[in-house]
Amino acid sequence: MSTPIDSQLVKQLREMTNAGMMECKRALEEAKGNLQEAETILRKKLGLIAGKKAGRDAKEGVIASYIHLGGKVGVLIEVNCETDFVAKNDNFREFVKDITLQIAAAHPLYLSREDVPADLISKEREIAAAQIKGKPENIVQKIVDGKIDKFYSTICLLEQPFIKDQNKTILELLNEKIGEIGENMRIKRFARFAVGE
């Protein structure tokens, strides 16, 4: 027999994750009423939902702009979804706005690690290795790999921590939104402009 779940807990989990009420209730039942564990369960499930939808075409969407700091920084972005209906959805629009704020604040240079030029990564590996000379080769390799992952998390939008919740990356946020909205979505491209750059 499952433990009865307090409706306040369901409401709280729903506010934290934007997942449906029944999904929240099932996650809380599975987590035996533990809110943090239920959030983790939902994030994993929403990610799985995103994985299933990833193969579907996303040819609708929006091009959005954001101007910040009295006209000193501007962002232009294209975010795609499957239907025009979702492109007009408030949840989708809020996500796009959050991503423009992220780009303005965190200044990513690339969308994903696949977009980073190989010569830039080689140079960063060289610099990282030079900083830790004298250690055994296998340790050097692990440290260099760690530094490169950190480098990706600063220059690649999808790997950056979300400015409104440092515990999740932009990719995790995107996957959550795919799960909530129920359509494949993708950030296609962006440009950030700053006066004097």
Q: What is the pLDDT of residues 172-183, one digit of tens each?
A: 999 989 888 888
C-alpha to C-alpha distance for 29 and 157, rounded to whole angstroms: 35
Rounded to an integer, the average pLDDT of 87-101 is 94
Do 7-53 and 60-111+156-194 show the same overall fold? no
Mean pLDDT, all residues of the chain: 86
Q: What is the pLDDT of residues 48-81, one digit of tens each?
A: 655 555 555 667 889 999 998 788 999 999 999 8
Is the CATH number of domain 60-111+156-194 3.30.479.20? yes
Rounded to an integer, the average pLDDT of 117-145 is 87
Domain range list for the chain: 7-53, 60-111+156-194, 117-154
> Over 80: is that where the pLDDT of 196 sits?
yes
Q: Is the pTM of this model over 0.95?
A: no
- Residue 92: pLDDT band (50, 70, 90) is very high
Instruction: Match domain 7-53 to its CATH number in 3.40.50.620, 2.40.10.120, 1.10.8.10, 1.10.8.50.
Output: 1.10.8.10
Q: What is the pLDDT of residues 135-165, one digit of tens each?
A: 788 888 888 889 999 999 999 999 999 999 9
Q: What is the pLDDT of residue 121?
A: 92
91 touches 181 (CB < 8 A): yes
Q: What is the pLDDT of residues 29-39, one digit of tens each?
A: 888 888 888 88
Q: 13-20 long-range contacts, Cβ below 8 Å, gap at least 24?
A: 13/38, 13/39, 13/42, 17/42, 17/43, 17/46, 17/176, 18/91, 18/176, 18/180, 19/46, 19/179, 19/180
Q: What is the pLDDT of residue 1?
A: 45
Q: What is the pLDDT of residue 57?
A: 62
